[in-house]
Structure 1
Amino acid sequence: MKFSYLLIVSLLLTHTLSAQRLSIDAQGLTSLIIPISTTSPQLLTSSPKGVELRIMKETNGSEDWHHWYKSPRFGLTVIYYDFRNQFLGKAISLQGVGDFPLKKRAKHDWHFLIGYGVAYLTENFNKFRNRKNTYIGSQFNYSFEMMLGYNYHLSPQVKLSAEAGIIHYSNAALQLPNGGINAFSLGLGAKYTPGKTSKPILDTVKPFQKPKKWRWNVFGGFGVLEQYPTGGKKYAVYNVNVLGEKRISRKLSWLVGLEGIYNNLYKEYIPEGQNLPEKNNPGRGSILTGIDILMGKMVIMIQAGLYIYKPQDFDAIWYNKYGFKWRFYQDFFTSFAIKTQLGAADNFELGIGYRF
């Protein structure tokens, strides 16, 4: 779904441009691909090399949440990777990133960086010309980056940096195979911020008062997935949920409620001992709970669901969702997430909701 890739990029651009104070980060990358099985040694022949360039903007303290996260930076990053393997080829990705300080000192600091976006890979599975690439089924993919970093300050404008973490590529089962690439990555580089350090617009933060009332979220979404054999039929997935929302701290809200799922793939399920599919029920129902990590209009969501209605006798009884929301107009929000079962991607989820 190229529309979902475009939506991710547009949301990340919007959030990035709302920040302040430009800086440029650059680093070289070396990686180790984490194997997902013992049957693909042909994909693990060398250590990938790459470069990363970020354009970042530091928040200016104009909103309380800037202080909650110690003046984080937001921006865009371009990552180029050469996997140095004929079956995997090369990758280039564009991601929105958030860089959150963990511990600040006069001459050094620790920080945590997380990014999400889209990627293009030059090589993907093809049953005629590239059967050995069982990691990537499509050239367009989602990309994810999570890094722990250390900065040493040469001056207020120049820092040396070292980072370690995971860079991930996959298409969320939109096109199989979808084992995904998980690259444990090490980076060394430098950061440059022109101009003088600016003082925050707000020197004090308003005392946090926990709301006593619950809020409610109504959401509807859809996704698409492919089932084996590769290159086969695509199945639409629809879901709706109603979640109660309770603010539990400055940074966190807790949500709990019910979700209904309609998956067209389940219509073609053939029970064991039968030759032809029956008229199957494509629906499931679950209790859904999760945490929203709040950053102004941007929200990182982590959710878990437990099926309470599941007429099909396959799949686990629980699932997870990881993604983000963007509160784009008053109480309306849009959401993008990856639904997983037992660590494997089930489908992407794109939708819109309303809070009241």
Structure 2
Amino acid sequence: MAHTTAIRHLVTSHPTGLEINLQRQTTGSAPWHGWYKFPKLGLALTYYDFHNPVLGYAVSASPYISKPFSRGPRHDFSLRMGAGLAYLSNPYNQDTNHKNTIASSALNATLQLRFEYDYALTPHVGLLVGLGLNHYSNGATTKPNFGVNLPSVVLGLNYHELRSFAQVNANAPAPMEVGQTFFNVSTSVGFKQRNPSDRQKYLVNSVTAAVGRRVNRKSNLLAGVEGFYDRSLKAQLADTTRAGIKQPDVKKAGVFVGHELLFGQLAFVSHFGFYVYAPYKSSTAYYERLGLKYHFTNFLFGAVDLKIHRGAADVIEFKVGAKL
């Protein structure tokens, strides 16, 4: 899909692909299973041929969760969300493949969103139809990186060991943490390339302090402050500032509000923030963040976040923190 004019020359074909899924039906062994109407958890192994010699092919592995909207004895309508890693065979190369402005690294992150309808043909086999979107991007770690947006129509077969399953804890009580306030402190590291001609990877750091509250079984709300140090901005200033002129500070500070959608120890994170200190105006005055967060213990967590400026990836943040 030509989501920007810079990749319009690459949209010349209809990619085709094959996907194998291994999935498990949750039955209530954890309280959140019932809160989300017993979703399926799975791993998708996907191959797409772009039918374009500039782009080659993509192979990906994506863990996912599939949440049902409507479920009956013979049908299942659900929304599937997944994230993982992808290999793109023909990344950008300034000497040999300069037309591929979509992706400049072989290793990329992938996101998958799909609506699926499964209709039972037999007690164990279902006909699957779906409408989805696959996205591949390296999060500006290497440039150019406009990313691949690949809409898809899906046709397949599902094998169910047990189409009807026993459900326990369908109405599990809300956890004791609902209504309680907590504090998070964290730090992150990331790497980004400034432009295609400068192949150096620059270090990006952040520190965050936030206060949060568990508002219901599925959600945390947060607000916080954070600081950023992007060393690629120093290199950018060195190229554009005339000799003898004092360069502005490239450090930035921001405030944000956020939401965490909870799946047991795992959470889907979304933040929206504003810079309150940014002497060097290198981007929009606001930023967004999407990511996955996992609590290894009640105290320690890790996260992988994508920081965004007006829809364009800024940096992938690898984060570690503590809940106080």
Find out whether 1:261 has 2:243 as its counterpart.
no
Distance in 1 (CA, whole Å) between partners of 2:87 and 2:179 is: 46
Letter in 2 for 1:211: V
Instruction: From 285, 288, 296, give the equivalent of 1:317.
Output: 285
Give yes or no for contact 1:156–1:197 (8 Å, CA) kept in 2: no
Root-mean-square deviation (CA), in Å?
A: 1.9
Give the equivalent residue in structure 2 for 1:329.
Answer: 297
8 Å contact 2:174–2:217 — kept in the other structure? no
Q: CA deviation at 1:144?
A: 0.8
Corresponding residue of 2:39: 72
> Does the 8 A contact of 2:179 with 2:216 survive in 1?
no
Give structure 2 stretches of 5+ with no counterpart. Answer: none
Deviates more, 1:314-323 or 1:202-211: 202-211
Q: Distance in 2 between matches of 1:286 and 1:87?
A: 40
Q: 100-109 or 216-225: which moved more? A: 100-109
Give the alignment partner of residue 228 of structure 1, picking from 195, 208, 213.
Answer: 195
1:121 pairs with 2:88: yes
Shift of 1:42: 3.3
What is the 5 A alignment of 1:97-112?
97-112=64-79
Residues 125, 131 of structure 1: 8 Å contact kept: yes
Equivalence for 2:165: 198
**Which AA in structure 2 matches 1:84?**
H
Find the aligned partners of 2:152 and 2:240 in 1 and give their Cα distance: 47
CA distance in 1, matches of 2:270, 2:214: 15
**Per-residue deviation, 1:290:** 0.8
Evaluate the alpha carbon distance shift between residue 80 and residue 311 of structure 1 in structure 2; reply closer, same or farther with a 3 A threshold: same
Q: 1:200 to 1:140 in 2, by over 3 A?
A: same
Distance change >3 Å, CA 195–CA 86, structure 1 → 2 = same
Question: Contact (CA 8 Å) 2:103, 2:146: kept in 1 or not?
Answer: yes
> What's the % identity of the aligned pairs?
30
Matching residue of 1:20: none
Relative to structure 1, is the Cα distance of residues 156 and 354 closer, same or farther in structure 2, using a 3 angstrom cutoff? farther
Is 1:295 aligned with 2:278? no
Residue of structure 1 in register with 2:274 after alignment: 306
Aligned to 1:83: 50
Aligned residues of 2:184 and 2:210 also touching (Cα < 8 A) = yes
Contact preservation (8 Å) 2:73, 2:164: no
Partner residue of 2:126?
159
Residue type of the partner of 1:205? A
Could you say if the C-alpha distance between residues 47 and 242 of structure 1 is closer, same or farther in structure 2, counting changes exceeding 3 Å? same
Take 2:118 and 2:5, find their aligned partners in 1: how far apart are those partners? 37
Matched, 1:355 2:323: yes
Q: For the Cα contact (< 8 Å) 2:59–2:86, is it kept in 1?
A: yes
Counterpart amino acid of residue 303 in structure 1: H
- Distance in 1, Cα, partners of 2:18 & 2:225: 44
Runs of 4+ in 1 over 6 A off after TM superposition: none
Structure 1 residues 272, 174: closer, same or farther in 2, change over 3 A?
Answer: closer
**CA spacing shift, 1:345–1:286, aligned 2, 3 Å:** same
Task: Write the letter of the residue equivalent to 1:251.
Answer: K
Deviations 1:290-338 (A, max 9, x none): 1100000111001111111111122101011111011112221100011
Segment drifting more, 60-69 vs 80-89: 60-69
Counterpart Cα distance in 2 of 1:242 and 1:139: 34
Q: How many angstroms apart in 2 are the aligned matches of 1:348 and 1:147?
A: 24
Unaligned runs of 5+ in 1: 1-33
**Counterpart in 2 of 1:53?**
20
Secondary structure (helix, strand or coil) at the match of 1:270 reads helix
| Worse-matched range after superposition: 323-332 or 277-286 | 277-286
TM-score norm. by structure 2 comes to 0.94
1:170 aligns with 2:137: yes
Amino acid at match of 1:123: N
Q: After superposition, give the CA deviation of every residue in 1:71-106 in whole Å (9 maximum; x if it has no partner).
A: 111121111000000100001001111111112233
Q: 2 CA distance for matches of 1:42 and 1:265?
A: 29
Q: Find the counterpart in structure 1 of residue 11 from structure 2.
A: 44
- In the TM superposition, residue 210 of structure 1 has moved relative to its aligned partner by 6.8
Measured in 2, the distance between the counterparts of 1:349 and 1:53 equals 30
Single out whichever of 203-212 and 123-132 deviates more from structure 2.
203-212
8 A contact 1:177–1:230 mirrored in 2: no
Residues 41 and 215 of structure 1: CA distance in aligned 2, closer, same or farther (over 3 Å): closer
Quick check: 2:79–2:115 contact (8 Å CA) kept in 1?
yes
2: CA distance, partners of 1:76 / 1:247:
29
**Within 2, Cα distance between the matches of 1:166 and 1:71?**
23
Partner secondary structure for residue 227 of structure 1:
strand
Which of 181-190 and 275-284 deviates more? 275-284
Q: What is the distance in 1 between the residues matched to 2:239 and 2:59?
A: 44
